[in-house]
Amino acid sequence: MTRDFDAIIVGSGPGGSTVADELTRAGMSVLILERGRNRLINLDDPHELAADYSSDELKFLERHFLGPDPWLEPRTFRRNEADGDHVHIGDVNNLPATVGGGGVHADGKLPRFREDDFRVLSELGPIEGTSIADWPISYDDLEQCYADAERLIGVAGLAGANPFAAWRSGDYPMPPGAPMYGSTITAAAAERLGFHPYPGPTGCNSVPYDGRPACNNCGFCAYFGCPIHAKGDPVAVLRQALLSGRAELRPDAFVSKILLQNGLATGVEWIDASGQAHEERAARVVVAGGAMETPRLLLLSGMAHPEIGRNLMFHMQTFVMGRMPFRVHGHKGRSVTTLHDDHIIVDEAAKAAAREHGLPWVKGGLVEHCSPSHPIAEAKAYPWGIEHKELMRTSPLRDHFLGFCMQGDDMPQSVNRVDLDPSICDVRGLPVARTTYEPHRHEIVSSRYHATKLTAILAEAGAEEIFTATSPKTEGTLRTSHSPISMVPVSRHVVGTARMGNDPTTSVCDPWGRLWEAPNVMIADSSLFPTGSGYGPTLTLVALALRNARALASEA
């Protein structure tokens, strides 16, 4: 009972969905296998979108509605080998397992990388203990695909507003949406101190777009699916692919192995919801499971390249938060509306600060102006008793809480990696992905250096009781994690683990995202990134998937 496809795509997140659209446009037939459930689109009539998402804190933040359930599909974590096999079992950076992947969850700040993010080694030089490498492609190679990705997803932004942005060939497809009140205050303070805040490019419709409505600022954005489908989750590309008649999407289909013969993939083995195994054949396999599940699948398939899983990167998140003397209502708006990039620029001052700690340079990251919005999470942070009531009414940790989250660039290190856990299995009986991860000194020095600047901005904005915390934890007191241990990074930006490059001995994939070890297997997610940058990975991984899928289609 097998059927042939031009390509099998593993995973229906932003990466996999984009490839599905591109290949079906080129006339190819694809089968998309997605381990999670379908909550996004009517598969029988893709014109119709599902009605399962809602603004429900319990369902999305406490009860894993979008999966994966951390008991059914756990991951494990340890900082280093001295920790033993693992110190934590459960949620390690879980992105949703559902049709649409993490695109459904994300509040979609979708900036492009800068030109120099593609050549960190040649621009800034090496750092001891890291494996920094230049990308095998340049920003210019990707610019057209960036523009196309912004159009396909639907990104609202303002060209020219960010003085540090890379060049662009045209405008954003939509103007930016309304800035949140708290961000107008922090942005004004940042400007007074010489920083350059700008309306963040977001994958939320500011006007009706692509047959979907404008965002109505409901406030349940990051970690929630959009009830009115105003979000740039991969619905647009997925719908196009399905409407082409050449794509089939199977939810509840976990790919357990890529079948290999003489150095080429012949298809995949997959497991259905009842635990039954099946095989499916195709001319090529595209893997877009995300930077943790992708290396897991390669290892489950018996691939042997020693670099698989290595150079795992997150963002070093630095939170600088304070209490405002008035309410800032962070629950109204799209979670984050304002950004600034100043900390990404490695200037002389940053180099001097780095040298004091024996480093050649430090690079920060994108700064999100933010404030929390959800009352259950807030309530759990307060003590019980009569104080609880008073704290909830005055809301120092939600309605008065304002500040920044810096997505600090994380240096690739060979020791930081994903491999198969030696003893823990998922509900299907397959070994789960184990993370071994510790930040490099670069991340810690950078975090402290930039936190000082962010603290100054927040003080200028009028905040009191300002404090700093990081994830993974280095110092500070803020409870930043749903995870029981705070060494597990909460950053949902995961990259590396199957890096691309020009040298088959030091990279897992070639410059077109194909495995050196099995060239008809293409990776289409952020696993490919040789370095992380201080920006969210999604727009870049989509642009890269477009570029590589086009190349693949043109050769087919």
Partner 1 sequence: MPRFLNEQQHSVLSAVVDRLIPPDDDPGASDAGVPDYIDGLLGAFTYDPPHIWAGGPFSGRFGGANGFTSFHRLTATEELAWRTRIEGSLGIPERERLGPVAGLQQRYATGLEALGADFTSLTPQAQDERLREQPEFTALVYEHACEGMYGAPEYGGNRDLIGWSNIDYLGDVQPRGYSDEEVSQP
Ligand X SMILES: Cc1cc2nc3c(=O)[nH]c(=O)nc-3n(C[C@H](O)[C@H](O)[C@H](O)COP(=O)(O)OP(=O)(O)OC[C@H]3O[C@@H](n4cnc5c(N)ncnc54)[C@H](O)[C@@H]3O)c2cc1C
Interface ranges with partner 1 (CB under 8 A): 37, 51-59, 62-63, 65, 69, 71-72, 74, 89, 177-181, 184, 215-220, 227-228, 252, 273-274, 326-327, 331-333, 375-376, 379-380, 384-386, 388-389, 392-393, 395, 424-425, 427
- Using the contact rule CB under 6 A, the part of the chain among 26-34, 213-221, 509-517, 543-551 near ligand SF4 is 213-221
Which of ligand X, partner 1, ligand SF4, none binds 222 (CB below 5-8 Å, type-dependent)? Answer: ligand X
The answer to whether the CB of 339 falls within 8 A of the CB of 367 is: yes
* Complex with ligand X: residue 150 or 525, whichever CB lies closer: 525
Residue 49 binds ligand SF4, judged by CB under 6 A? no
Find the binding residues for ligand X in span 95-154 (CB under 6 A).
Answer: 95, 97-98, 101-103, 105-110
CB of 383 to ligand SF4, least distance (A): 31
* Complex with ligand X: residue 455 or 471, whichever CB lies closer: 471
The answer to whether the CB of 399 falls within 8 A of the CB of 330 is: yes
Find the binding residues for ligand X in span 283-322 (CB under 6 A).
Answer: 288-290, 293, 297
Of 206, 468, 133, the C-alpha closest to 319 is 468
- Using the contact rule CB under 6 A, the part of the chain among 30-38, 169-177, 178-186, 241-249 near ligand X is 30-38
How many of the other CB atoms lie within 10 Å of CB of 214?
A: 16
Which of partner 1, ligand SF4, ligand X, none binds 59 (CB below 5-8 Å, type-dependent)? Answer: partner 1
Of 182, 181, 224, the C-alpha closest to 204 is 224
Residue 218 binds ligand SF4, judged by CB under 6 A? yes
How many of the other CB atoms lie within 10 Å of CB of 431?
A: 17
Q: Based on the number of CB atoms within 10 Å of its own CB, is 508 exposed (0-12), middle (13-18) or buried (19 or more)?
A: buried
Residue 110 binds ligand SF4, judged by CB under 6 A? no
The answer to whether the CB of 460 falls within 8 A of the CB of 474 is: no
The answer to whether the CB of 226 falls within 8 A of the CB of 266 is: no
CB of 269 to ligand X, least distance (A): 10
Strand runs labelled E in 219-360: 247-250, 254-261, 264-271, 277-287, 316-323, 338-340
Determine the Cα angle at 355 with ends 352 and 358, to 5°: 170
Which of ligand SF4, ligand X, partner 1, none binds 526 (CB below 5-8 Å, type-dependent)? Answer: ligand X
Residue 90 binds ligand X, judged by CB under 6 A? no
Determine the Cα angle at 182 with ends 106 and 227, to 5°: 35
Work out which of 230, 469, 515, 528 binds ligand SF4, going by CB under 6 A. Answer: 230
* Complex with ligand X: residue 103 or 372, whichever CB lies closer: 103
CB of 441 to ligand X, least distance (A): 26
Work out which of 99, 226, 324, 359 binds ligand SF4, going by CB under 6 A. Answer: 226
Q: Based on the number of CB atoms within 10 Å of its own CB, is 82 exposed (0-12), middle (13-18) or buried (19 or more)?
A: exposed
Alpha-carbon distances, residue 540 vs 118, 143, 208, 361 (angstroms): 11, 10, 24, 24
How many of the other CB atoms lie within 10 Å of CB of 460?
A: 17
Work out which of 228, 264, 283, 456 binds ligand SF4, going by CB under 6 A. Answer: 228
- Between CA 392 and CA 203 the distance in angstroms is 32
Q: How many CA atoms does the CB half-sphere of 23 hold within 13 Å?
A: 33
Site size toward ligand SF4, by CB under 6 A: 13
Work out which of 186, 447, 526, 533 binds ligand X, going by CB under 6 A. Answer: 526
Binding mask 329-368 for ligand SF4 (x = CB under 6 A): -----x----------------------------------
What contacts 200, CB < 8 A, 6 or more positions away?
109, 111, 157, 176, 336, 337, 338, 339, 368
Q: Which residues bind ligand SF4 (CB under 6 A)?
A: 204, 215-218, 220-221, 224, 226, 228, 230-231, 334
